[in-house]
Amino acid sequence: MHDHLLDVNITKRFGNMDVLTDIRFQVEPNEFLVIVGPTGCGKTTLSNVLSGIDTATVGAVKMHGDKVDPHKHNLSYIFQEPSCIPWYTMLEDVTMGPIIKGQSKEQAEARGREVIKLVGLEGYEDYYPRQISGGMKQRVAIARAYATNPDLLIMDEPFGHLDAQTRYLMQIEIMRIWEQDRKTVVFITNNIEEAVYLASRILVLSKLPATIKCEYVIDIPRPRDLTDPKFLKIRAEITRECEIVE
């Protein structure tokens, strides 16, 4: 019996360069885990290994006790850049995953409309990517990820390309969706304020070769106030750990 959803114990090298060294942690069911670290510390490499897109040089990522396999396990990945298919309508894009997994067109469409409504885009089902904003495209990516009802959702700096106002609105939106659906999320970011706003727990990575420097359990009530003294204190502590000057 495996109580953890995900067990991680990995080292990753590219040639002679160590990128991730002795990275060990667990992810609990329904947790919103945020991994934060300075730019260039290997966060995307870590997310690729967690998802099974890439493999560890030493060790393994295990999901429910078995080595993670995107063909076997039900997980979804949201990339840094919007990944809408230009010639697909929103509904066609979102229903692609369920259809690939064997659902009928009718079942997939019903699920697609459900998750489009979940991300607040009801009424835009027949729109193409060229007709919607960057923030809306990222909501489509979230809807697509949720459409297969994943056990694990990995988000690799999904709001990094958005302007500050849209990014903040998307943070509020992803919290609303998570509190409603309680999917297990591993969220990657280099934005410390974003990490403290979203996380149940934060892992802080060092510079290359990346190791886990420290862990924070964030017990601030939601919705979180960015000016709350406790929020500011945790943000300042993590900033020092990331070796970033504010």
CA atoms within 13 A on the CB side of 119: 27
Pair 148, 76: CB distance under 8 Å? yes
Percent helix, strand and coil across the chain, each to the nearest 5: 35, 25, 40
In angstroms, the CA 120 to CA 172 distance is 12
For residue 245, pLDDT over 60 is answered with: no
Q: CB of 138 within 8 A of CB of 82? A: yes
Instruction: Give the CB-side neighbour count of residue 178, counting CA atoms within 13 A.
Output: 25
**Given pLDDT bands bounded at 50, 70 and 90, which one contains residue 81?**
confident
pLDDT score for 2: 57
Burial 181-220 (b: 16+ CB within 10 A, else e): eebbbbbbbbbbbbbbbbbbbbbbbbebbbbbeeebebee
Convert the pLDDT of each residue in 42-72 to its tens digit: 999 999 999 999 999 999 999 988 999 888 8
Which tokens sit at 147?
């459409």
CB 203 within 8 A of CB 47: no
pLDDT confidence bin for 1, thresholds 50/70/90? very low
pLDDT at 102: 87
CATH of 1-73+151-246, one of 3.40.50.2300, 3.60.21.10, 3.40.50.300, 3.30.420.40: 3.40.50.300
Q: Does a cis peptide bond (omega within 30 degrees of 0) precede residue 229?
A: no
Distance CA 24, CA 7 (A): 8
127-182: per-residue pLDDT in tens? 999 999 988 998 899 999 999 999 999 999 988 888 888 888 889 989 998 998 88
